[in-house]
Chains A and B, each alone.
Chain A
Amino acid sequence: MNIIRDLIRQKEVIVCAGAGGVGKTTTAAAIALQAALEGKKTAVITIDPAKRLASSLGLKELSDEPSKVNARKFTAAGLKPKGELYAMMLDTKTTFDKVVTRYAPTPEQAERIIANRFYRNISGTLSGSQEYMAMEKLYELHAEGGYDLIVIDTPPTRNALDFLDAPKRMTDFFESRVLRWFLLPYMKGAGGFMKVANVAAVTFLRVVKKIVGAEVLDDTAEFFGNLEGMYEGFKQRARDVAALLKSESTSFVVVTSPALDSVAEATFFATRLNEEGLPFGALVVNRVHPHFGDDIEVKPRQISRLEKGEPEAQLLAKLLDNHEAFMRVVRLEERNLEALARKVPRHRWARVPYLEQEAVDFSGLIAIADELFAG
């Protein structure tokens, strides 16, 4: 039985994680595609797909709702899905606005927050907001979307683990004590506090004001003032999301390539999932170079003699040279994967070879799915 097939049959949420550039988005899309073929109503949430991959799923713009992948795509490829496939490119900003609207005690308060300049910066640039919103959208679709399975791609962070910490980092940020120090004199009726606030805080303020300007501080204070009373809602939601990620219904698929850096990151990630009590499901090893003719043994001397010979001999020399070069890559990849196998046993792996075509269109996705679900 194929390990990934087990997951699509048993789980409701699959999180694809890994370093950038290892084919995470493609893997997520291929898993979702296969699940739809096998009868699940599936949604795939992508973060930053390649243009052709996005358009192969019928995605034109960022949105906060999945849209159905046209059945004609399947028919054109000679496939008849038993389920349905939905896809979306996550719109962080809109998702954030909706979260604010949900937790604000009144619509007016929500509007005030959304119009605030500091808030607009947060929703766009604060590190972790994209990860936070990806988790938020995942939770919402799981709770209310009516999908059998949701496959989510994680943002291309510098560090594959960032998104695990994102909800907590965001709520910590909202509650930061340092912030309160800053904002005291800007908050209504807090004038008296300034007198007792310590010298460091006053110095802080003076420098900050100098650096960023008084307006920025006003905006910030207004934002946090408006946020008053909403913290508990945010925190509760962050706890719910964390609970979903730890639950039986969820599984993490770690995507890697056989390159050294990416293997190191995948190993670290698998270990970390374990420590956090998060359910590791499978490892996808992507872009493994194909293996041909392991037992050819040739000496450099033989090649150099061939190089001096007839055209056919020269041709053979080139072929042997090329073979040897690829074998070097294969051996190095094997060595990297050997180290990985000590952390994640091979029966938890799915290997996808470096295909001769690119997985950027619908047929490419099908090719990847065929490899992922082979056996």
Chain B
Amino acid sequence: MLVEEFLAPKILIVSGKGGVGKTTVAAALALVAARSGRKVCLAEVDRKGTLPRLFGGRELNYKPAQLAPGVWGMNIVPEDALGEYLEVQYRMKRVSKVFSSTHFVDYITTAAPGLKDILVLGKIWYLEQGRQGGRSPQDFDTIIVDAPAAGHMLTFLSAPMGLSDALRVGPVRRQSDWLVEMLRDPARSRVHLVTLPEEMPVSETIETSEAITHKIGLNPGAVFANAVYQPLLTTSEVSALDEVMSDNDPRELRIRAAEVALRLDGEDLEALVGYARFLEARRSIQTKHLRALKRGVQDPVLELPFLFSAGLALPDIETLADVMEEKVAAL
């Protein structure tokens, strides 16, 4: 598949269970989009704050700020979205301040759950519409939404459908219809899921993916399986290693080491083999879960490698973006 095609809808929603690297994947996707010349808005929903850390910058707020070449970041806070909505819709600049108080939003979203989500999606719609034919700083080619964790995500994305069902007439009904159209139109939006090759994330992803397509009727994109250990040894290397290590004294490896002036004692060799075995053990667990994932979802599964750097930063995101481009091209 062409990267262009993969990036075609303006709105790309990225979701997954907490702790699976959803934000990292959203950031990598943003880089891929920016590399193809797009102006990208990477939007967090309701201040989680992981995004700015990846780009080494300060906290994000409601107004988009540049994070990297071609990439802007913002944080869609429902309170701010409500303020903006009331201002634009009802010209209630002063009153909107009181409205945006947390208690008010708490109250109103409890009375009508889903309203918070509608406010956030409304802001995304507003961003999507653009303002001045692409010349405003608020106009973006691609909007990547780092959506709430999967459990909440389904509620989040099905909120407009619920509201449209509940209201028969009125401006809010009309607006929630716009959101439903936006979410259901494959030319406008697509949902990508992120998961880990582990028990709980995989089973949750299978359920979510099913619900996205069949229950709420959105457009599924890809499933990114994150932090997948890459194979280290070929089958013949594994048996070669077994043979070498079955000796009490793995002379063969020591000789090779000595040839490049490297001194390895028995303990060192055991350590080397220890990590190889550890990797294999974790990998075989992952393989099992990846198989279950591929069986369970209809969307293409794109594997992203485990990165041997616990403190993810921009260079790591660049690496993931490279891999993402390759994997998309191979689709």
Contact = CB atoms under 8 A, between A and B. Distances in A.
A50 B199 CA distance: 8
B256 A356 contact: no
Q: Interface residues of A toward B: which range?
A: 35 or more
Contact of B309 (A122, A295, A305, A328): A328
A200 B270 CA distance: 74
A357 interface: yes
Contacts, number: 195
B329 interface: no
B19 A122 contact: no
Interface string A198-240: 0010011001101111001101100000000000000000000
A318 B172 contact: no
A158 B155 CA distance: 16
A341 interface: no
Interface in A1-55: 19-22, 50-52
Contact of B262 (A220, A302, A311, A325): A302
A125 B98 contact: no
B272 A293 contact: yes
A124 interface: yes
A312 B281 CA distance: 22
A19 B199 contact: no
Majority DSSP secondary structure for residues of B touching A: helix
Contact of A204 (B99, B171, B200): B99
Interface in B149-187: 149, 155, 166-167, 170-172
B331 interface: no
Contacts of B155: 125
Interface string B249-272: 000110011011110100110111
A292 B271 contact: yes
A156 B264 CA distance: 46
Given A22-B19, A293-B268, A326-B308, A178 B260 contact: no
A219 B108 CA distance: 12
A176 interface: yes
B97 to A, nearest CB: 10
A312 B310 contact: no
A181 to B, nearest CB: 10
B93 to A, nearest CB: 12
Contacts of A118: 110-111
Interface string A104-130: 000000000000001001101111000
